[in-house]
Chain A
Amino acid sequence: MSEQGTSQGAERARHLGDVENTVAPTRDTVQVERAAAETEHAGGGAAGLMSGPFGRNLGLVVALLLICAAGLITAGDRFASLDNTLTILRFASALGVVAIGMTFVITGGGIDLSVGALVALCSVWATTFATQTMATDNHWIVMVFAALAVGAGAGLINGLVIAYGKVVPFITTLAMLAAARGLAEIISERRTQIVTVDGFKDFFGADVLGVPLLVIIFALVSIAGWVLLNRTTFGRRTLAVGGNPEAARLAGINVNRHTVMLYVLVGVCCGLAALMLVSRTTVGSSTHGSLWELDAIAAVVIGGTLLTGGRGTIVGTVVGVLIFATLNNVFTLNNQDTSTQAVAKGLIIVVAVLLQQRLARNATST
């Protein structure tokens, strides 16, 4: 599509948003656009900003605060210390980056079950003897390039099969889940690959003013993700494609190409997360990222992104990831066993979503 075509398409997509939000004709254009971007297909429910990101995120923040309160009551200073906060954030970082990528795919009406396996594959590929030798001879950036390229490549395959092969995302990425972890096992011979490149370890293991680089990367990716989803044509198209692909196509969006781009994006996120995990563990392994697909999807969904697509929130996802990380931490601090934790986690997911829906509804009715 040409540059002109792109902007025309975007213009038409924006128009589409306007038409859908004509129930509130008094608002100025900026507000309409924002509402359109956030609740593309919420239709008549878009009665005010409270029903938008604010109302939904409020429920989430309340849930997070409740967990923090539980942590404070049961663990006191052990919970509220700076060291403990950093422990939570370091734990959340790599998974958080995956969840940001997942937000885009789910908002765009898809799903990616292969993220955990891709993290494993990227971590293994970036730490093979060959890659590390090349990194030692040249620069450690070789490892970064390897991980990101493998992530992008696997995402490209996912995207092409889904967009042009018309295989549903669930099946395509399920196949990639099996294949990528298998390939990671073959490449690593199921051995743990230890990183010997000091430059890599020094760079990713660094602190900036006491904040670990991993946490900074997560923050930067979150900001970039927010801007991309809420302030760019790419973001608006993602909402349009996820909400109603047919309408998006009629509005001049190249839906297939956009879908491919979404899977490449999540693939790159997996590559970045793999690097973060490799830095944290100093090894690449085919067992990395096990069951991360479920953790990432859970975080995205409790964050308020619609599993059916068309509505997505980066802030919600970030809070969702933090909820799970804090939850794990509070459980560990309280010496709880695995089975109790699993039950409590399930309950908290349901309660968080119920609370969030209720608050959103109340907000809408006022």
Chain B
Amino acid sequence: MRLRTPFGRQQSRFTGIVVGAAAVLTLAACTGSAQDAADEDGSNDAPVAAAGSNDEEGEKVTIGFSAPAADHGWMGAITSNVRDLAEQYPDIDLQVAEGTNDVNLQISQVETFINDEVDAIVLLPFDGAAMTPVALKAMEAGIPVINVDREFDDPNAARVTVLGDNYGMGVSAGQYVCEQAGGDKDVVVAEIAGIDSLPLTQDRSQGFKDALGECGLDVDARQAAEFTVESGEEVAANLLQAESKIDYLWNHDDDQGLGVLAAIENAGRDEFTMIGGAGSANAMRAIQEDNSVLKATVIYPSTQGADGVKLARLLLQQKAMSDLVEVEVPRTVQLYAPVVTTDNVDQYIDTAFES
């Protein structure tokens, strides 16, 4: 079957670079997805983008973006970062669908993108598994899907996957505590987690536990909040009541952290060091000012959606990530979870999200 849609032609260009124009149509006929094209041998003199040239204006690309409702500072930042990025590139025509927590609606949004024949879809699913069928449908229609943050349950449903590192967040926080404790095995470590049943919370806690284990520490008290300010306040108030002395407190999320800090203030406690999570601008300003218990936070980048859009643009314009030798956009990009302290806060505060 020959692909006669605009996408079919576009995809054939990937292949065309490698094998020459004569074979383009034939190959396009059997190229089901951009992934297949990527599997072709890329070791010839394909035009590798020189460093910096990726930002130069290329052909116009239409990118559809859909994400869950912005009911949390981090999620709000995802969409606003995407919009800001699209404004910087005159060659990106961004279509943003309504933020929703109803998968039925999100599916119909993606279907609309497919009907519209957008060039690529960047999708942060409310539920990765539930959005898999429609993502597969888009890929089958020749539209590359860039999956952000919450993974599909079928690897064929996305050309590129951009992920944060939840386990790595826990590890970073744990390593920071180990470093600060400096070998003291008697310190009291407390943890306020996010929604406990979510895999991301379990990953974060596991990473924290594993990293602490490396230096012979463990979590002495652990409570789960719900990523909201109210729940953070409530849980922290109880935790502080229960533990008369704490040395280190890791709170998974800076949005709920506003509540945690309020509870700490109400209880008049300042004997411990608090580490945040996600990396909100509030938290970073507190770290910068250095006058509260909050001394550090671990980043879960809210720029994932924007990175997804950027990768979609590179993919569509047949540009590679110019700092890599590889001539195709990678399959999976996992972002790093660095620890932010007074020493390096200036480096991160510009990309932090407002909660």
Name A residues whose Cβ lies closer than 8 Å to a Cβ of B.
Answer: 78, 81, 83-84, 87-88, 90-91, 94-95, 185, 189-192, 194, 277, 280-283, 285, 287-292, 325, 328-329, 331-333, 335-338, 341
Contacts and interface: CB of A to CB of B under 8 A. Distances in A.
Interface stretch (B12-20, B50-58, B130-138, B301-309): B130-138
Given A87-B112, A192-B127, A333-B112, A280 B97 contact: no
Contacts of A189: 197
B137 to A, nearest CB: 11
Contact of A288 (B94, B103, B109): B103
Given A194-B129, A328-B98, A341-B98, A333 B116 contact: yes
A192 to B, nearest CB: 4
A83 B126 CA distance: 24
B98 A338 contact: yes
Contacts of B133: 280-282
A91 B107 contact: yes
Contacts of A88: 108
B108 A285 contact: no
Given A78-B116, A337-B96, A338-B99, A194 B153 contact: yes
A226 B105 CA distance: 26
B252 to A, nearest CB: 17
A332 B96 CA distance: 8
A335 B96 contact: yes
Contacts of B95: 335
Given A90-B108, A337-B96, A282 B129 contact: yes
Contacts of B206: none
Contacts of B131: 281
B85 interface: no
A325 B111 CA distance: 13
B346 interface: no
A287 B100 CA distance: 12
Contacts of A277: 103-104
B69 interface: yes
Contacts of A283: 127, 129-130
B129 A192 contact: yes
A287 B126 contact: yes
B1 interface: no
B325 interface: no
A290 B106 CA distance: 12
A191 B198 CA distance: 8
Which interface residue of A87, A189, A191 has the most chain B CB atoms within 10 A? A87
A281 B108 contact: no
B112 A281 contact: no
A189 B128 CA distance: 16
A287 B96 contact: no
23 contacts: A78-B116, A81-B115, A87-B111, A91-B108, A185-B197, A190-B197, A191-B197, A192-B127, A194-B153, A280-B104, A281-B103, A281-B127, A281-B129, A282-B129, A285-B103, A289-B102, A332-B98, A332-B109, A333-B112, A336-B98, A337-B98, A338-B70, A338-B98
Contacts of B317: none
A331 B153 CA distance: 29
A94 B103 CA distance: 12
Contacts, number: 93
A332 B112 contact: yes
Contacts of A191: 197
B282 interface: no
Given A83-B111, A332-B98, 4 more contacts: A83-B114, A281-B103, A283-B130, A338-B99
A187 to B, nearest CB: 12
A95 B99 CA distance: 19
Interface in B62-102: 69-70, 94-102
Contacts of B115: 78, 81, 83-84, 87
B293 to A, nearest CB: 31
Given A78-B115, A328-B108, A192 B102 contact: no
A90 B105 CA distance: 10
A191 B199 CA distance: 9
A358 to B, nearest CB: 30
A192 B133 CA distance: 14
A88 B104 CA distance: 11
A163 B115 CA distance: 48
A329 B105 CA distance: 9
B93 to A, nearest CB: 9
Contacts of B97: 332
Contact of B104 (A84, A95, A329, A338): A95
B99 A87 contact: no
A320 to B, nearest CB: 17
A331 B102 CA distance: 16
B198 A331 contact: no
A191 B129 CA distance: 10
B205 to A, nearest CB: 16
A13 to B, nearest CB: 38
Contact of A84 (B100, B107, B112, B198): B112
Contact of A287 (B98, B101, B111): B101
Contacts of B100: 338
A81 B117 CA distance: 12
Ranked 8 nearest A-B pairs via Cβ: A91-B108, A281-B130, A190-B197, A87-B111, A83-B115, A192-B129, A283-B130, A283-B129
Contacts of B112: 84, 87, 329, 332-333
Contacts of A288: 103
Contacts of B94: 335
Contacts of A280: 104, 107, 133
B47 to A, nearest CB: 33
B105 A192 contact: no
Interface string B160-178: 0000000000000000000
B147 to A, nearest CB: 15
Nearest to A333: B112
Contacts of B105: 91, 328
Which interface residue of B94, B99, B107, B115 has the most chain A CB atoms within 10 A? B115
A190 B198 contact: yes
A243 to B, nearest CB: 34
A290 B101 CA distance: 7
